[in-house]
A and B are shown apart, each in its own frame.
Chain A
Amino acid sequence: MRVRLSGRMLLWAMTTVAILWLTAPVLVLLPLSFSGRKSFRFPPDTWSMRWYESFFTDPAWHASLLSSLKVGCLSTAASMLLGTMAAFALHKLDFRGKAVVTAILLAPMIFPAVVSAIAIFGVYLAWHISGTLTGFVAAHTVLSLPFVIVAVRSSLRIFDWRLEQAAASLGAAPLETFRLVTLPLIAPGILSGGLFAFVVSFDEVVVSLFLQTPFMRTLPVQMYLSVTESIDPTVAAASTIIVLVTVVAIVLAMFFWPTRRMSHG
């Protein structure tokens, strides 16, 4: 009994350390973003909202937030569409080299970002789309695609395929069946994948750093440049906003993540 009790306490202690370790940056940044001084002094001795004001009024910050939202939304839409189609193909078809195709589609999840970045940058220079919205969206789509594929595949795995047979027996052509039965039932999976995709794009920094120009930079890039150039606590406000958006998106994604419970009638 004593052994089990101390084992439990050890587990709690380790969990606490891990939680602190993971959240420490936020615990520093959050107070800092409300600092009254133009310094990174921690903990702050005076308080204000001026860095949030600066974030939303300074054109450079403002524009980068807008770029990030634009790139995030467009690449999310693209990867939801392509990822869903890819997941369907992987689930329904049986073809030679399927394992290889799957590995390639999921590779951006684990591939070193800097290598992708250099490769994409090289190709974009030749195509003259570096620093353009199209370029950013295409690059981020590649990086976020695997997240949609994984989410949609897991919703297809628990989808009851007899429902498609039932729809057919009731007179629904394949496209109608997809629109009226399959799509509504796997929508949570697509949505969940889309939210992950948005998060991937919204805080992607490595590839964006290569692709950025003074006219088009995303929020994380702006933050990086700000910190290297000047002491400006606006970056703390920006960080807090990124954390907020990411946490909301991930919580929503977890909520929609397909589980058995949802597929059961």
Chain B
Amino acid sequence: MDNASHAGASLRIRKLSKVYGGITAVDSIDLSASQGEFLSLLGPSGSGKTTTLNMIAGFISPSSGEILVDDQEISVLPPYRRDIGMVFQHYALFPHLTAAQNIAFPLERRRLPRRVVAERVSEALDMVKLGAFGHRYPRELSGGQQQRVAFARAVVFRPKLLLMDEPLGALDKKLREDLQGEIRRIHRELGITFVYVTHDQEEALALSDRIAIFNRGRIEQVGTSEELYEKPATEFVAGFIGEANSFSGKVVHDGGGLALDTAAGMLRVDTDLPPGSQATLVVRPERLGIRRAGEPGRSNSVKATVGETVYLGSSRRFEIVFDDGRTGIVRESAGGGPAIATGERVEVTWRIEDGYVVASGAAAREGRDGV
């Protein structure tokens, strides 16, 4: 795969919408991927990520908006003229053709000479480590092998953009992890731009350069794994990426600084939101400390009761119940800290800078750039 034209394409989506009989599946989204980027579309089912992918592929026509690949509008082209590779969740291999014939299919459609087709097919089979399996029919291959063939078939014609629709969704966990490694390797080798749809946040975190979080037909936030984890733009993102403890309330003045007036009490916060606005404070489990009630703690503390505790080797995980009835999670490194048992009254504490404040509800949508 030494072809210079084989680099990735840039993708830019502007104000893209899809409305089905009054129901808005995709609501005016903006999204872009730079050349060679690995972009994941992550969200719960029905959030619009697959519809978006199908609009890029050309299987669904947009109600409005633009899709630009290398600055060319492609929504006017039928799918077979787009030159975009696609890997389907259930492989979609042609059952009447062998693995090699499946991979040759896109090359033959491009009228390449037979010799070139044979060369590229064997190259592609080697790339997915199925060199000896070319003569097998899909039904004679395992699920993982079938997905490798589907993968080889989708990149063998050297598209500049590869779309993947939950390609590992039908495989078991061990196989998924192996294939994730392969997908990363191939992405690095080929330099193609990848757009990857998944509802599995771990998978998205492991694979992507950037992730777009979809919710109810809109994009909540686009960012690197770290940005999404450390600085979630909305409560939804905070809850969707990793575990989070959240406290909702109104921003108020408290002594020298600002605080959030929540059901769990006054919690000091550091935020740019004006007093009076509704907001949610998000604290990650590993940023929380836990100590017996009455002991001096850090800046913020909330009373709680310990529920289940789980020893995880390098850390301990506490499920806690706050006094207002809501539950939360604390993770502490295993070595330090007192031995705390289920049912014990504790105080959960954290430093102000370890909390992250996001505006609640509809307010979060305003003043936020979609990209």
Identify the A interface with B (CB < 8 A).
160, 162-163, 165-174, 176-177, 180-181, 184-185, 263-265
How near does chain B come to A261, taking the closest CB pair, in angstroms? 10
Given contacts A173-B80, A265-B95, whether A165 and B88 have CB atoms under 8 Å apart is yes
User: A34 vs B119: C-alpha distance in the bound complex, in angstroms?
Assistant: 64
Nearest residue in B to A170 (C-beta to C-beta)? B106
Nearest residue in A to B89 (C-beta to C-beta)? A162
Q: Are B153 and A265 in contact (CB under 8 A)?
A: no
Nearest residue in A to B153 (C-beta to C-beta)? A170
Q: Are B80 and A264 in contact (CB under 8 A)?
A: no
B90 on interface, CB distance cutoff 8 Å: yes
Q: Are B91 and A265 in contact (CB under 8 A)?
A: yes
User: A192 vs B311: C-alpha distance in the bound complex, in angstroms?
Assistant: 63
Contacts of A163 in B (CB 8 A): 92, 94
Identify the B interface with A (CB < 8 A).
57-59, 78-86, 88, 90-96, 105-106, 109-110, 137-139, 146, 153-154, 157
Q: Are A171 and B157 in contact (CB under 8 A)?
A: yes
Contacts of A184 in B (CB 8 A): 96
Q: Are B88 and A265 in contact (CB under 8 A)?
A: no
Chain A to chain B contacts (Cβ below 8 Å), 24 pairs: A160-B92, A162-B88, A162-B90, A165-B92, A166-B86, A168-B59, A168-B80, A169-B79, A169-B154, A170-B106, A170-B154, A171-B109, A171-B110, A173-B80, A176-B109, A181-B94, A184-B96, A185-B94, A185-B95, A185-B96, A263-B95, A265-B93, A265-B95, A265-B137
Q: Given A166-B88, A265-B95, list of 15 further CB < 8 A pairs? A: A160-B92, A162-B88, A162-B90, A165-B79, A165-B86, A167-B105, A168-B59, A168-B78, A169-B82, A169-B86, A170-B154, A171-B157, A176-B109, A180-B105, A185-B96
User: A166 vs B106: C-alpha distance in the bound complex, in angstroms?
Assistant: 10
User: A171 vs B90: C-alpha distance in the bound complex, in angstroms?
Assistant: 19
Q: Are A171 and B59 in contact (CB under 8 A)?
A: no
Q: Are B57 and A172 in contact (CB under 8 A)?
A: no
Contacts of B105 in A (CB 8 A): 167, 170, 172, 180
User: Chain B interface secondary structure, helix, strand, loop or mixed?
Assistant: loop
Contacts of B153 in A (CB 8 A): 170
User: A174 vs B58: C-alpha distance in the bound complex, in angstroms?
Assistant: 14
Contacts of B85 in A (CB 8 A): 169
Q: Nearest 3 A-B pairs (CB), nearest first?
A: A170-B106, A265-B138, A166-B92
Given contacts A165-B79, A184-B96, A185-B96, whether A170 and B88 have CB atoms under 8 Å apart is no
User: A169 vs B110: C-alpha distance in the bound complex, in angstroms?
Assistant: 12
Contacts of A265 in B (CB 8 A): 91, 93, 95, 137-139, 146
Contacts of B110 in A (CB 8 A): 171
The number of residue pairs between A and B whose CB atoms lie closer than 8 Å in the complex comes to 70
Q: Are A165 and B109 in contact (CB under 8 A)?
A: no
Contacts of B96 in A (CB 8 A): 184-185
Nearest residue in A to B163 (C-beta to C-beta)? A169
Contacts of B90 in A (CB 8 A): 162
How near does chain A come to B283, taking the closest CB pair, in angstroms? 44
How near does chain A come to B55, taking the closest CB pair, in angstroms? 13
Contacts of A263 in B (CB 8 A): 95
How near does chain A come to B243, taking the closest CB pair, in angstroms? 35
How near does chain A come to B136, taking the closest CB pair, in angstroms? 11
Q: Are A172 and B94 in contact (CB under 8 A)?
A: no
User: A163 vs B91: C-alpha distance in the bound complex, in angstroms?
Assistant: 9
Nearest residue in A to B91 (C-beta to C-beta)? A265
Given contacts A169-B154, A171-B109, A185-B96, whether A264 and B139 have CB atoms under 8 Å apart is yes
How near does chain A come to B309, taking the closest CB pair, in angstroms? 47
Picked from A169, A180, A264, the residue with its CB within 8 Å of the CB of B57 is A169
Which of B83, B86, B94 is the most central at the interface, judged by chain A CB atoms within 10 Å of its CB? B94
Which of B81, B83, B106 is the most central at the interface, judged by chain A CB atoms within 10 Å of its CB? B106
Contacts of A169 in B (CB 8 A): 57, 79-80, 82, 84-86, 154
How near does chain B come to A185, taking the closest CB pair, in angstroms? 6
Q: Are A264 and B88 in contact (CB under 8 A)?
A: no
Q: Are A172 and B95 in contact (CB under 8 A)?
A: no
Nearest residue in B to A173 (C-beta to C-beta)? B80
User: A184 vs B96: C-alpha distance in the bound complex, in angstroms?
Assistant: 8
How near does chain B come to A238, taking the closest CB pair, in angstroms? 40
Contacts of A162 in B (CB 8 A): 88, 90, 92
Contacts of B109 in A (CB 8 A): 170-172, 176
Contacts of B106 in A (CB 8 A): 170-171
Nearest residue in A to B90 (C-beta to C-beta)? A162
